[in-house]
Amino acid sequence: MAIDMTIDDTISTPTGEFTRFIPKRNENRVEEKYDFFISLNRTIIYKRNNQSSEQFNFLLTNQYTLESFKKILNGEAFEIFMQKHICNGFELEKDGSYKSNYIQGYRLDLLQSYTISDEVLQTISKQCEILINALEIADVQNKLFGDWALHNLIFSFENKCIINVDLEGFLTYNPLPDWANLEVIKTWINSLN
């Protein structure tokens, strides 16, 4: 079973109290630009920039980039057909820290570690097809960007669809690098079936 952990390290923000949250580590992830905190009622994630990436921090010194990030967080940067596949963020701070709603669900890179009914697995498989279709349309329109690696994708229990929770990836993977282009993304997603 995939295990996320909370640690007794509490911080206060204008939105409330948050405790340190450590998602199960993905071995393919190069670096963590953010430290994660979760609200005490487990409904909001606070991603606090840990200042570990000089390149990312430099990117955020540009006012245009911060404005673009605001549009990413509120969904304005995406076509309507893509918006349901991308979480919304809020309370963007000057250093790139932000909050988003906590998505209860299955992380796609960890599907093998959960006990999932055949019915839910079929739903996830269908949602993978729907996501790939949306990504293909965005690609044809030259509007596909973001980090679509499996560890950023969650099958939402509430919305019954797959949601990308890596909002900062829409800044750093714009345009998509060749090693994470549409064909590669499709290979990752299709590997689940």
HSE value, Cβ hemisphere, 13 Å, CA-based, for 75: 13
Q: In Å, how far are 114, 130, 152 from 124, measured between CA atoms?
A: 13, 10, 15
What's this model's pTM, rounded to 2 decimal places? 0.92
Q: Is the pLDDT of residue 28 over 70?
A: no
Q: For residue range 69-106, what is the model confidence (pLDDT) as tens digits?
A: 999 999 999 999 999 999 999 999 999 999 999 999 99
Range of the domain at 65: 5-190
- Number of domains present in the structure of the chain: 1
Sign of CA dihedral 126, 158, 5, 15: positive
Q: For residue range 125-182, what is the model confidence (pLDDT) as tens digits?
A: 999 999 999 999 999 999 999 999 999 999 999 999 999 999 999 999 999 999 999 9
Q: Is the pLDDT of residue 2 over 70?
A: no
Q: Is 133 left (phi over 0), alpha (psi -120 to 50) or beta?
A: alpha
